[in-house]
């Protein structure tokens, strides 16, 4: 089964994609994680995308598609996509990729979270500078202030979580990404799950929504 998780920045896509992928034995692909890894390694791709991420703009379609294809080719498990596709053009490219493999997108799930809740979450989000674990200073703080529970590295605020960038990210999302909902509704694979609940409850909601796709 191949699944796409959609939602506003800060809606919890990354946390939920990892949880559901682990429970269902799927491979989790996060474009955000991949890009941040490339930036940390100071690769040519990392240098190319850093300016886009820091300013809240979307990375160009051709770059994203190239990265996804290179990472997904050869995968022999179901795939869970988090942060991709973000445009209808990317969705069409992914459909073509799966068609060539004799596969398809089985489900597209939108995490429904009120916009103000998203803004509040992003303002208090912190990320481990080493392992990438995500914390929320209000709902999921680290045991020791400013340090990751897993590896002890410092926690940082991402450039794209700063208020002025968040406003632009939400605007970009609405302009370019929301049309994906209409695209996938037309394909008959669209589902919606409440995303403003406690994380374990959201995970259960996702698993319940996907249960019909695995039957």
**Catalytic residue positions?**
13, 86, 125, 158, 169
Cβ-count burial 152-163 (b if 16+ within 10 Å, e if not): eeebeebebbee
Q: Which residues contact 144 (CB under 8 A, 6 or more apart)?
A: none
Bridge partners (DSSP) listed for residue 137 = none
Asked if 210 and 20 count as a contact pair (C-beta separation under 8 A), the reply is: yes
Q: Integer distance in angstroms from the first to the last C-alpha of the chain? A: 11
Q: What is d(CA 22, CA 145) in angstroms, rounded to the nearest whole number?
A: 28
Residues contacting residue 206 through CB under 8 Å, at least 6 positions apart = 5, 16, 20, 109, 193
């Amino acid at each position: 089964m191949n699944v796409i998780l959609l939602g506003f920045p800060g809606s919890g896509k990354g946390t939920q994609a990892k949880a559901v992928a682990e429970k269902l034995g799927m491979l989790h692909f996060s474009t955000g994680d991949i890009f941040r890894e490339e930036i940390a390694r100071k690769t040519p791709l990392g240098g190319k995308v850093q300016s886009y991420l820091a300013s809240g703009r979307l990375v160009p379609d051709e770059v994203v598609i190239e990265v996804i294809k290179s990472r997904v080719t050869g995968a022999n498990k179901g795939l869970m996509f988090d942060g991709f596709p973000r445009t209808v053009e990317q969705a069409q490219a992914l459909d073509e990729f799966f068609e060539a493999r004799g596969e398809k997108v089985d489900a597209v799930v939108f995490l429904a979270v009120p916009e103000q809740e998203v803004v509040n979450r992003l303002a208090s989000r912190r990320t481990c500078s080493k392992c990438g674990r995500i914390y929320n200073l209000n709902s999921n703080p680290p045991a020791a202030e400013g340090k990751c529970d897993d590896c002890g590295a410092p926690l940082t605020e991402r450039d794209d979580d700063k208020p002025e960038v968040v406003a632009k990210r939400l605007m970009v999302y609405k302009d370019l990404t929301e049309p994906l909902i209409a695209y996938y509704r037309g394909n008959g694979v669209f589902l919606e799950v409440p995303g403003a609940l406690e994380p374990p409850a959201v995970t259960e909601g996702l698993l319940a929504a996907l249960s019909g796709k695995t039957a």
